[in-house]
Amino acid sequence: MGKSKDKTGSDELFRWDGNPTPGQIAPLAIQHVLAAVVGCVTPAILVANAANNAGGSVDTGLLIQMSLVFAALSTLLQLYGNKIHIGSGLPVIIGVSFAYVPTMTAIASQAKGVDTILGAMVIGGIVAILVGLFIKQIRKVFPPLVIGTVIFAIGLSLYKTAINYMAGNAANTYELIVEQQGKTAALVYGSWQNWLISIITLAIVIGLNHYGKGLFKLASILIGLLCGYVLALCFGMVDFSALHSAGWFQLPKPMAFGMSFDVSAIIPLALLFLVNSIQAMGDFSATTTGGMDRLPTDKELNGGIIGYGISNIVSAFFGCPPTATFSQNVGIVGSTKVVARKVFATSAGILLVAGLIPKFSALLRTIPQCVLGGAVASVFASIAMTGIKLLVSEGMSARNTTVAGIAIAVGMGVSQSSGCLNQMTQSIYNGLGMTMGLENFQSIINNTFASSPVVLATIFAVILNLVLPKDEAKKN
């Protein structure tokens, strides 16, 4: 194996069942953790903030803990679960997915609560299991053209969140408390301090992505976040009160956030689980192609997606937001060719230990909103660009641009014009003489179709792709 000698002089790192030394494992495992940790915890912070800003009382620290714990356990299931046919048996890292953030924050901001999201996750997990069982049939309805359109819609819907956080988060009650205490005016929404710190943080992330080498490039988001955090400290924008009161060890608590089932949350999240199940196939394929020089087997795909569904169902009972395969870690596999299971198991172990320590989650909660916004803006941009790459790979024919363009236009347009949707639902309600309460009916329609552009974009992309005539194959 010549390529392995070029890397470290040992074949063990490049074999799935290899037995590398602890010295070889440690830096490579930490590299995966650095690439994943920000993505694991940021969605939890965004969802908790949205729920609390709507009058909820979500324990942000506990939500972060559960995100880390079940990212680790879900990863271990993928690594070892193939022995009982509920895991892929492939070198992947699982974490909380940004793809669900627009819909989750929309649901949470309408005072539906995290418990509603968790209930919808159970149904979504069942959808994922069904996709795993019937992957060949379902895959035909979700070709790269449709998946690319959906991912592009997800990226576009996240931009508003990034800019809002860069400005300091308009609804952040902590900012108002600090201002009233007379400590500083730096946290006022839209202040120059917020913009300065967020832009510097973003600039560091972009710079390291393009000019950094090795670990500096791979951990660009984490390094940018740390630099922004230090700058925020200089402006007196960091509050450590939560850190002092946090404990050192805490086991997961089942049903700590409760669970409820609301059709207005179930429909959009179930569709996202369907889309992400198909997208997981792409990550599994990229992992085996980049690190093992082969395509995944049907057994690996079926087991991986079924494991994805089962892990989400179980984690919902403990309060972890939806998880998925992490594409950034797939990229590391492709660049290093390291596929030894012990490396990924060690990464999962580190995430698990971090999740069991409340002090760690409390430390993450001290990160100012503007720092968080600057750090994740590039992540959101890369999500949108991933969608565009998929679309371009399919070719920008008149048919394909119609499918993607109309789906994005309808999805984004309706989500930004919810007032017209309310008028339409009211006219339908009156015309049909419905007995259900008007507010409940409008809530179901809004959460399903107007809370985020993803659902409508998915529906229109699927329908247009099925009904429009296919492009004729190009003649040589």
- CA-CA distance, 44 to 50, in Å (whole number)? 10
| pLDDT reported for residue 1 | 39
pLDDT of residue 74: 95
Kindly give, in sequence order, each residue whose CB lies less than 8 Å from that of residue 134, ignoring residues fewer than 6 positions away: none
Query: Residue 459 carries which side chain, given as an amino acid letter?
Result: I
DSSP string, 291-315: HHSSPPPHHHHHHHHHHHHHHHHHH
Number of neighbours of residue 127 by Cβ within 10 angstroms: 21
Average pLDDT per consecutive 10 residues, the chain (476 residues; last block may be shorter)? 44 83 81 74 84 80 88 94 86 86 81 84 94 82 83 79 76 46 56 87 88 73 84 82 73 86 85 83 76 80 92 94 81 74 92 85 76 79 80 88 91 72 68 62 63 77 90 57
Query: Could you say which DSSP state residue 140 is in?
Result: T
User: Could you tell me if 436 and 177 are in contact, meaning their C-beta atoms sit under 8 angstroms apart?
Assistant: no
Q: How far is CA 222 from CA 33, 194, 226, 334, 359, in A?
A: 10, 19, 6, 21, 18
The C-alpha atoms of residue 210 and residue 217 are separated, in whole angstroms, by: 8
Which position has the token pair 């030394």? 21
pTM score, two decimals? Answer: 0.72
Find, among 344, 322, 350, 349, the residue nearest to 332 by Cα: 344
Kind plus residue range of the DSSP H or E element containing 355: helix 341-355
324: helix, coil or strand?
A: strand
- Round to whole Å and give the CA distance between 381 and 367: 21
Among 149, 121, 185, CA closest to 453: 149
Tell me if 209 sits within 8 A of 215, measured CB to CB: no
The single residue listed with the structure tokens 């992400």 is 276
**Distance in angstroms between the alpha carbons of the first and the last residue of the chain:** 38
- Report the half-sphere exposure of 101 (CA within 13 A, side-chain side): 30
Rounded CA gap, 423 and 462, in Å? 26
Written as one letter, the residue type at 232 is: A
DSSP bridge partners of 95: 324
413 Cβ contact partners less than 8 Å away, ≥ 6 residues apart: none
**pLDDT for the residue 451:** 60
